[in-house]
Amino acid sequence: MDITGEYMINAPREVVWHALNDPEVLKRTIPGCKELEQRSPTDLAAKVALKIGPISATFNGNVTLENLDPPSSYDIVGQGQGGAAGFAKGRARVELTEIDEHTTKLSYNAKAEVGGKLATLGGRLIQATSNKLAGEFFGNFVKELNGESSETAAPEEKKSRWTKWLRRG
C-alpha cells in the first residue's frame, strides 16, 4: 500500500532535519511509541503498541535511515514483529524543501505491507489505519516543531475527509 502526504512547518529546514533525527522528538510523536533507542546514528530499535481494527499488538522492530542527504532527504526503512498479530514492514522517502528561511515543506512517500493475522483484516482497513497513523505522526511532528502540544493532528486536507467519515459512522 502507498501512503503520501506533505506538511508545511514553521521552522528552518535545518531545525526540521535535526528533529527528524532526534530520538526523543520521534518517541513523543510516533503514535503508540513505548520505547525508542538509538543504536547508531542510522539505526534505532523501537517498541510500538497499536490497535488495528480488532487486533491489538505490541511491535518490536528496527528502523534504519538510508540514503541520507542532510538536510534535504532520507529513506526510513522499518520492520516490526507483533507476535501472533503478525508483522509490518515499510519504507518511506522523506524530503525537506526550504520554502523560505522560516518555512519548510516536508513531503513523504511510503510503502508498507503487513502479514499474519493483520493481513486478514482486509486492504481497506489496513490502508485507512496506515493513513491515520501517518497523519498522526506527521501531525504530531509538525505540532512539536511549531511549539504546540503533541496531540493527534492530521493535515488540513485529510482532517476534513476524516471529519466527514466520522460523522457518517
Where residue 54 sits, what CATH number does that domain have?
A: 3.30.530.20
DSSP string of 123-156?
Answer: HHHHHHHHHHHHHHHHHHHHHHHTTS-------H
**104: which 3 cell numbers?**
519548510
Chain-centroid distance of CA 14 in Å reads 19
- State in Å, rounded, how far the first CA of the chain is from the last one: 24
Cβ contact 29:137 at 8 Å: yes
* pLDDT tens digits for range 119-160: 888 888 888 888 888 889 988 999 998 877 544 344 443 444
Question: Domain range spanning residue 139?
Answer: 2-168
* pLDDT tens digits for range 24-79: 999 999 999 999 999 999 999 999 999 888 999 999 999 999 999 999 999 999 99
pTM of the model: 0.81
| Domain tally, the chain | 1
